[in-house]
Amino acid sequence: METGEISDREICASSLSGVKRRRVTVDDKLDHQPCVNVKFKSLTKESKRKLNELLQEWSK
């Protein structure tokens, strides 16, 4: 996979302490799945496709 420039990274999981978390809504409280959100400034189409494939595989 080609390298993209990371501009912002947020990781949220209810079991981790000292980690930035997004605001929790009532619906989120019912779903206790950890989440990962990574934003890139630049990423090739092929890298985006590969990243999406890996994230789909990881979420199974």
For 4, the token pair is 């993209």
**Residue 2 CB partners (closer than 8 Å, separation 6+):** 43, 44, 46, 47
Domain ranges of the chain: 5-59
- Residue 20: what pLDDT? 62
Residue with tokens 């990962």: 36
Q: Is 45 helix (H, G, I), strand (E, B) or coil?
A: helix
Please check the confidence at residue 1 and state whether its pLDDT lies above 60.
Answer: no
pLDDT single digits (tens) 4-15: 554 444 444 444
State the average pLDDT over residues 30-56: 79
- Residue 40: what pLDDT? 75
- Residue 46: what pLDDT? 92
pLDDT single digits (tens) 20-41: 656 656 555 555 666 777 777 7
